[in-house]
Amino acid sequence: MSADAEPAPVSVKPPVTLREVAAAAGVSVATASKALNGQGRMTAETRERIRETARLLGFRPNHLAQSLLRKRSFTVGLLTNDTYGRFSLPLMAGVSDALVDNGVSVFLCNVEDDTRLGQLHVEAMLDKRVDGIIATGKRIDRHLPVDLSNLRVPVVYAFTQPDPGAVGLVSDDAGGARLAVEHFCRLGRRRIAHVSGPASFAVVHARAEAYRDVLKEQGLPVAEPLLGAWSEAWGHEAVAKLFEGRGERPDAVFCGNDQIARGVIDALRERGIRVPEDVGVIGFDNWEIVAEATRPPLTSVDMNLSTLGREAGLALLSLVGGQPAAPGIRKLPCRLVVRQSCGRPPGG
Amino acid sequence: MSADAEPAPVSVKPPVTLREVAAAAGVSVATASKALNGQGRMTAETRERIRETARLLGFRPNHLAQSLLRKRSFTVGLLTNDTYGRFSLPLMAGVSDALVDNGVSVFLCNVEDDTRLGQLHVEAMLDKRVDGIIATGKRIDRHLPVDLSNLRVPVVYAFTQPDPGAVGLVSDDAGGARLAVEHFCRLGRRRIAHVSGPASFAVVHARAEAYRDVLKEQGLPVAEPLLGAWSEAWGHEAVAKLFEGRGERPDAVFCGNDQIARGVIDALRERGIRVPEDVGVIGFDNWEIVAEATRPPLTSVDMNLSTLGREAGLALLSLVGGQPAAPGIRKLPCRLVVRQSCGRPPGG
DNA sequence: TCCCTCTGAGAAAACCTTTTCCCAAATCGC
DNA sequence: GCGATTTGGGAAAAGGTTTTCTCAGAGGGA
């Protein structure tokens, strides 16, 4: 061996192909393909020998070639505009969870609120021949900044405003609000207030309406919901409004999100009002990192976003498979996660 | 037209292929390909005519076919175990940002802490012929639950523990801590305490050491850092320890993350200690939603994760392009985001 | 006029797998 | 023992693109 022999380049050897497997097993590629896919007819012995050869060689079929032929790439695109989103992340987890078992991978595309960027991403995904697209966002009542209505692939909308005639999945905000308010009622609270976000959000109205409905059903006094911002600061302010007037003071506050609830609880404590003894508080979103840091830990409505994502993934899958899906918006139930901020039943 | 004519199926027509473009332009596919890619030799007139035809027909090349031939799929995998992560999300945004301009799409895979799931995802990505993989996680000093050391594709580690000999990018935690402590010094604070997370985290030690170094350099008293948890509750506790002893009380607290800082600030206020007048507070992570909800808004060290992600994306790109990259860990600088919790300079 | 060199464009192989025929040998019925 | 059927397996096309090779014709020099 000469001294100046070239050092072996670090190049890894190329993946083994079906052709090599076939050669090693002494059959044609056609037979090899059929053996590995359980197709065609051959002796069990032949089939097993080919399979063993493939295993030994570490053969992995090239999905690019398969996709080209099958016209199905086993990839989907997930479009979102919720950059730092605590909404889209659990949702993505659910989507991914539903799809990975079917061998489907997910392209994640954050389009911000930028139409050009959205266009760019959609075209890139289409060029890569995704089987379908899931659109999601940071709020239910807004469209993504990109038109998905006439694509060559099926589209499912989850937690964002769907196009008319499309398949959409959202959380049942009214149902979630019912859960919270009815829980207060069961605990014997009688003067239940509602502090929520800006009136420009559709969910604010959906939840407020459910709030009113439950109170009416129960024959309890309905106070006008206080609408403001999705912030702790607004929670503070709202407490000032609720507890400084001369009217009867609430013994429970149902908040539009967890940050408001956090602000409410802090403000109540600063006023010497005990939570949950004097006033119960329930939040919305069940953002664990907030709910658990609150003192006391916050009872909150969970939108089951991960389930929502999973359902969206399954819906897209069946659409891709050619099953027609009923268009329209499907609402998925929320659940109440009880911690300590709402109190226990009188006798509990 | 008969009454029972079949309704036109909603089938969208298949994408137009290069062959069709060639036929429409009256040339061969070879010539068409070369015209569109700026390769080969032909009259400007021919090239332009083909391009125009392609544009008219809405031709988009099939990336699957291109990838198969070029052995380059223009996709990369992003592996993370930071499910609900505020770390990986900004990082992903940076990665995506760096790659989208190069026509590269990103597969997002959350592997939790599950080796089996990790294996599954990595194999799926490899089967789909990703050009490379970026590994990221929720802490710098832990490996992902999956071995990426002998893959056929380049791997870049960002904000997670790299394999030896690999390319890794992390934040410069010591540098970030210096920024915070030196800022306090410039503001004239003399008794600076440090409250941080659990001793099991490498970053806790890196930051604590930098904290000590700066104080020594400035000739200021060095107090032993208080190590606990990454929570608001620990921030409360730490304040109790710091302000209940008989020793001199700090006039500044440098916290290991924003949640601790939030707890510290709340606890100080509850004791009637003013922030920033009596005690300045600086956090770490610059988690905006926390930093801005804190009263007063929190000054915090930002790890520039989005830049980190962008650098990781570019590093992977050059690796994929065949450029050898220097292995080892590269630390990227943090930056201090000044809000109101640290106070202003004496004369400011 | 002959030979040589360009020029513009096409034919075909290659990438890797799946699937549809097709064929030879073996088996069966009688 | 002969035709019909079954069985096991292969050849080849298809999928859409890129790239190398080839080739016919045009132009130039001698």
Cα B331 to Cα B31, B157, B165, B168, B319, distances in angstroms: 49, 12, 15, 8, 18
User: A304-327 pLDDT, tens per residue?
Assistant: 999 999 999 999 999 999 888 888
Residue B101 CA to residue B106 CA, distance in Å, equals 12
Angle at B210 (CA atoms; ends B205, B213), nearest 5 degrees: 125
pTM of the model: 0.91
Closest alpha carbon to B301 in B143, B144, B148, B194? B194
Strand C–CB B37 distance below 7 A = no
Q: What's the CA B40/C1' C5 distance, rounded, in angstroms?
A: 18
Residue contact A105–B126, C-beta within 8 A: no
Does position A242 have pLDDT exceeding 90, yes or no?
Answer: yes
Does position A17 have pLDDT exceeding 90, yes or no?
Answer: yes
**What is the predicted pLDDT for the residue at A348?**
52
Does position A3 have pLDDT exceeding 70, yes or no?
Answer: no
- Half-sphere exposure of residue B174, counting CA atoms within 13 Å on the CB side? 9
**What is the predicted pLDDT for the residue at A346?**
61
Q: What's the CA A37/C1' D5 distance, rounded, in angstroms?
A: 27
**What is the predicted pLDDT for the residue at B2?**
39
The set of strand D positions with any atom below 7 Å of a protein CB reads 7-12, 14-20
What value does the mean pLDDT take over residues A201-218?
97
User: A269-306 pLDDT, tens per residue?
Assistant: 999 999 999 999 999 999 999 999 999 999 999 999 99
Spell out the residues 6+ positions from residue B296 whose beta carbon is closer than 8 angstroms to its own: B265, B275, B276, B339, B340, B341
**What is the predicted pLDDT for the residue at B228?**
97
Q: Give the mean pLDDT of chain A.
A: 91
E runs forming strands in B285-341: 299-302, 328-332, 335-337
Return the amino acid letter for B18.
Answer: L
What value does the mean pLDDT take over residues A252-275?
96
Min Cα–Cα distance to chain A from B77, Å = 9
Chain B residues in contact with A89 (beta carbon < 8 A): 83-85, 89
Min Cα–Cα distance to chain A from B84, Å = 6
- Half-sphere exposure of residue A49, counting CA atoms within 13 Å on the CB side? 12
Per-residue pLDDT in tens (0 to 9) along chain B, 348 residues: 333 333 334 456 788 999 999 999 999 999 999 999 998 888 899 999 999 999 999 999 999 999 999 999 999 999 999 877 778 889 998 999 999 989 999 999 988 889 999 999 999 999 999 999 999 998 899 999 999 988 999 999 999 999 988 999 999 999 999 999 999 999 999 999 999 999 999 999 999 999 999 999 999 989 999 999 999 999 999 999 999 877 789 999 999 999 999 999 999 999 999 999 999 999 999 999 999 999 999 999 999 999 999 999 999 999 998 888 888 999 999 999 999 999 886 655
Angle at A290 (CA atoms; ends A268, B305), nearest 5 degrees: 140
**What is the predicted pLDDT for the residue at B83?**
78
Q: Does B113 touch chain A (CB under 8 A)?
A: no
Query: Residue B61 is encoded by which pair of tokens?
Result: 């090349």
Strand C–CB A61 distance below 7 A = yes
Strand D–CB B69 distance below 7 A = yes
The set of strand C positions with any atom below 7 Å of a protein CB reads 7-12, 14-21
Question: φ, ψ for residue B254 (rounded to 5)?
Answer: -100, 120
Peptide bond just before B7 cis, omega within 30 deg = no
- Give the range among A53-62, A77-86, B150-159 with minimum mean pLDDT: A77-86
**What is the predicted pLDDT for the residue at B62?**
95
Measured torsion, CA atoms of residues B87, B90, B94, B97, in degrees rounded to the nearest 10: 140
Among B66, B89, B97, B155, most A C-beta atoms within 10 A, so best to mutate, is B89
Chain B residues in contact with A100 (beta carbon < 8 A): 109, 117, 120-121, 124
User: A121-177 pLDDT, tens per residue?
Assistant: 999 999 999 999 999 998 899 999 999 988 999 999 999 999 988 999 999 999 999
Q: What's the CA A69/C1' D12 distance, rounded, in angstroms?
A: 15
Nearest nucleotide (C1') to alpha carbon of A20? C16
Does position A26 have pLDDT exceeding 60, yes or no?
Answer: yes
Residue contact B60–A126, C-beta within 8 A: yes
**What is the predicted pLDDT for the residue at A178?**
98
Q: Does A81 touch chain B (CB under 8 A)?
A: no
Strand D–CB A42 distance below 7 A = yes
Does position A11 have pLDDT exceeding 60, yes or no?
Answer: no
Residue B141 CA to residue B135 CA, distance in Å, equals 13
Does position A199 have pLDDT exceeding 50, yes or no?
Answer: yes
**What is the predicted pLDDT for the residue at B41?**
85
Chain B residues in contact with A15 (beta carbon < 8 A): 152
Strand C–CB A43 distance below 7 A = no
